[in-house]
Amino acid sequence: MPSVDPKQEWLAAARAAMEIEAASVARAAGRLGGELVRAVDLILAHPGKVVVTGIGKSGHIARKIVATLCSTGTASVFLHPAEAVHGDLGIYTPGDPTVLISKNGTSSELLALVPLLREFHSPLIGILGNAASPLAAQLDVLLDASVEREADPNNLAPTASAVTALAMGDALAIALMRARNFTPEEFGRFHPGGQLGRNLRLTVRQAMHSGEEMASVAPDASLKEVIIAMTRRPLGAACVVGPGGALAGVITDGDLRRALTSHDDIRGLRARDAMTRTPVTIGPEATLGEALERMERRPSQISVLPVTDAAGLALGLLRIHDIFLGSDRS
């Protein structure tokens, strides 16, 4: 009997784990209904923050949910349930809703918190893996995050249950986003750093190459003149500019290679013969994120965009290299 490759067994176990987790999240999504709407209403009715708590692995999930809520327009803080009774309850103002996260709903730390939170008039929303637990009976809203089994072979490690609780928290955050009509501009305000913030906050005008920085040629320029212009200003493309500054086309490094490959004698070729006549363009006030999507979300990706105004005048060139954080302007 042929031996089983242990590495294949590892792969099979990994795939099975992801499939179990995916199925658990799908079943939880199917259970969503009025309770989620009630949770959103409770949070929207209070002008203050949301407090999220949990212990152990549920505490880690709670911290991630806090981060998601904060970044999507719902002020939120994490409360460690064991530290709460040693002064951390001071974070509460009356009426702050609390989201309690627990797999089994039997955590002594969370159960001890409930009567204390009632003194702060805190509406209690639970993301629980056991709807019949002692904690579930004391909640105002229960979001059912139960799973049929964990993803590990021994059905012990909090894997599917943790992923499902996290997905339920994300679902609550996304529903609140919709309820608040949270915009990409607001998202950018909360994410000023990193590539995400750069894509949301900066405009094409702020990152593009214009004027003497970009290669610009007339439609009747010889191919040699095009090559010289692109060599002096190596941005990967040249704008072909007609009378009055209107963009007539664009010539990329690829266009030059194709022209050289398909013609034995290039001496008679002009810019108009090699250029792309209807290039993809972008406006100067578009965000870098919009420019990146225009470059990448197409059958054939492009790495440089001509920038034009509403009248079609050539304003500059934007490379994909200019979009990314840390890139220089050389």
pLDDT tens-digit profile of 109-140?
A: 999 999 999 999 999 999 999 999 999 999 99
* Residue 285 resides in a domain: yes
Position 54 in a domain:
yes
Domain that holds residue 71: 6-182
Separation in Å, CA 35 to CA 49, 125, 142, 219: 20, 9, 6, 64
* Length, in residues, of the chain: 330
Is 69 part of a structural domain of the chain?
yes
Query: What integer pLDDT is reported at residue 173 of this predicted model?
Result: 96
**Tens digits of per-residue pLDDT, 60-86?**
999 999 999 998 999 999 999 999 988
- pLDDT above 60: residue 280: yes
Q: How far apart are CA 71 and CA 169, in angstroms?
A: 13
> Are residue 141 and residue 208 in the same domain, yes or no?
no
71 inside domain: yes
CATH number at residue 76: 3.40.50.10490
Residue 4's pLDDT is what? 76
The Cα 241–Cα 218 span in angstroms is 5
Q: What is the pLDDT of residue 78?
A: 96
Q: Is the pLDDT assigned to residue 326 strictly greater than 70?
A: no
- Return the pLDDT at 330: 46
Is 35's pLDDT higher than 90?
yes
What percentage of residues in the chain have a pLDDT greater than 90?
A: 78
Mean pLDDT of 244-269: 88
Neighbours of 310 (CB within 10 A): 7
Task: Answer yes or no: is 279 within a domain.
Answer: yes
Residue from 178, 142, 177, 121 nearest 38 by CA: 142
Query: Is there a single domain that holds both residue 234 and residue 309?
Result: yes
Q: How many domains does the chain have?
A: 2
Provide the percentage of residues in the chain whose pLDDT is more than 70. 97
Mean pLDDT, range 96-119, rounded to an integer: 96
Q: Per the domain annotation, does 197 fall within a domain?
A: no
pLDDT of residue 327: 55
- 112 domain-assigned: yes
Please report, for the domain that includes residue 270, its CATH number.
3.10.580.10
